[in-house]
Amino acid sequence: MNALVTGGGGFLGRYVVEQLLAAGAKVRVYSRRRFPELEAQGVVSLAGDLRDAGRVADACQGVDTVFHTAAVPGIWGPWSLYYETNVVGTQNVIAGCVASGVARLVYTSSPSVVYDGRPHEGADESLPFPDHFSAHYPKSKALAEQAVLAANGSAGLRTIALRPHLIWGPRDNHLLPRLIQRARLGRLRQVGDGRNKVSMSYVENTAHAHLLAASALSEGRACAGKAYFINEPEPVVLWAWVNQLLAAAGLPPVRGKVPTSVAWMAGAGLEAVARLMRSKNEPIMTRFLASQLSSSHWYRIDAAARDFGYGPVVSAEEGLRRTTPDLRRWAGGG
Task: Enumerate the active-site residues.
Answer: 137
Give me the helices (H) in 170-301, please.
Answer: 175-184, 203-218, 238-249, 260-276, 287-294
Q: Please provide the DSSP assignment of 71-119 as one string.
A: ---SS-S-HHHHIIIIIIHHHHHHHHHHHHT--EEEEE--GGGG--SS-
Are 12 and 20 within 8 A, CB to CB?
Answer: no
Are 291 and 263 within 8 A, CB to CB?
Answer: no
- Whole-angstrom Cα distance, residue 103 to residue 41? 25
Instruction: Please state at what angle helix 238-249 crosses helix 316-331, rounded to 10 degrees.
Output: 60
Closest CA to 112 of 88, 96, 129: 129
Residues in a beta bridge with 178: none
- Whole-angstrom Cα distance, residue 32 to residue 7? 8
